[in-house]
Amino acid sequence: MMKQGKLMMSGALVTLLTFGLVGVPVAGHAATSKAVTYGQLTNNNAHRLAAIRQATRQEILKQTKSKSSRVKAVYKVGLPYHMNKKGKLTTKGLRVSLQKNSFKLKNVTVPYKDLKGKIRNRYLPKKQRTKSVKTSKLVALTFDDGPDKTLTPRLLKTLKKYKVHATFFEVGQSVSRYPQISRAVLAGGNELGNHSWNHSDFNAIGTAKTKAQIIRTNQAIYKATGTLPQYVRPPYGNITAAEGRAIEQPIVRWSVDSRDWAYLNKQKDINSVMHATRGGSIVLMHDIHSQSVAAVPTIIKRLKAKGYKLVTVSQLLNYQALPGLQYFGAHDYRTAGK
């Protein structure tokens, strides 16, 4: 955006407020807002509109300083589903109108930083716009089934030692048991994702129970950390298209399966990961097996020696993951259930 400028005309001082491409006001000048349809914001992309709803739920909880008992209620708030409906671009973010709800809010403003990669770049301040990222030397390590009271803290120490970050897909019942460990995961600069309540096979339990498992786990993570997780990883990688639509969170799969759960052997874990990992890979491991956690230091050192940078899933996907889609690697995604 251009900065505020001043121009002398006919002896009078005229203050010019300049705007970006779509009339988003300069920060600090709250008097102006611009109405825009969700079709314009998303280029008529239903996945992007679902991402706006996801970010709006987070903001409702934050703005109302809600306790975890209110997480289920936020999924009942009427949010935009039609492309011809309008939001308003303001100095602070996108103002979303809400249907009558138990939070007693008529609207909520979602900050632009939470809409990066979710709405078109032209509607974002320049510092929040996504830019192309080279992923040929990026790898995301991910760990499932925790938190474990002993092994997860040990792994966090390893990540801190080598100054790398990872993404943890946690089981809700374990988060409830060890909330302090989930907080430590985030405190270390890592990401938390949802891995169901008790590791049920979504394909076997159906859409309604799948959604209930996801919301229950989101509630546990929110209670532990004060934030909803962005991603879901379905146990066994099983998810239907209907479940993907119902969840309204990006689905993260993997391109490298370490099979550490089968080996339970440190050296085999190392060999498996090193053999299959390429630039843009999402690596699947588990932080509930001692052999897996023991393998991580060597894996990190060898990947770094090959010139790879270890990043979170969000960094690998350039903050552009959308609900209803499942991501296998940096440039490998498809509709959930396919």
| Sheet strands side by side (includes 107-111) | 34-37, 86-89, 93-97, 107-111
* Contacts with 18 (C-beta within 8 Å, 6 or more apart), sequence order: 1, 2, 3, 4, 5, 26
Residue 167 contacts residue 142 (beta carbons within 8 Å):
yes
- Cis peptide preceding 147, ω within 30 of 0: yes
d(CA 245, CA 271): 37
Sequence-separated contacts (24+) of 211-216 with Cβ below 8 Å? 211/243, 211/246, 211/247, 213/172, 214/247, 214/249, 215/71, 215/72, 215/75, 216/172
Active site residues: 144, 286
pTM exceeds 0.95? no
251 — phi, psi (to 5°)?
-100, 125
Could you tell me the mean pLDDT of each successive run of 10 residues in the chain, 338 residues long? 36 35 42 88 98 98 98 98 98 97 98 97 96 96 98 98 98 98 98 98 97 98 98 97 96 98 98 98 98 98 98 97 98 93
* Contacts with 190 (C-beta within 8 Å, 6 or more apart), sequence order: 156, 159, 165, 166, 167, 168, 312
Which domains occur in the chain, in start order?
Answer: 5-128 (no CATH), 138-335 (3.20.20.370)
d(CA 88, CA 298): 50
**Per-residue model confidence (pLDDT) at position 127:** 94
96 — phi, psi (to 5°)?
-110, 125
Q: Quote the tokens at residue 221.
A: 């993570």
* Contacts with 165 (C-beta within 8 Å, 6 or more apart), sequence order: 159, 188, 189, 190, 191, 310, 311, 312, 315
Packed helices 179-187 and 151-161: angle between N→C axes, nearest 10 degrees:
10
Burial, 210: exposed, middle or buried (Cβ in 10 Å; 0-12, 13-18, 19+)?
buried
**Per-residue model confidence (pLDDT) at position 33:** 87
User: Which residue in the block uniquely carries the two structure tokens 């209620």?
Assistant: 73
- DSSP code per residue over 70-94: GHHHHTTS-----TT-EEEE-SSEE
CA triplet 141, 142, 145: central angle to 5 degrees? Answer: 155
Residue 308 contacts residue 139 (beta carbons within 8 Å):
yes
Residue 285 contacts residue 273 (beta carbons within 8 Å):
yes
d(CA 203, CA 240): 7
**Per-residue model confidence (pLDDT) at position 329:** 98
**Per-residue model confidence (pLDDT) at position 6:** 34
d(CA 94, CA 123): 10
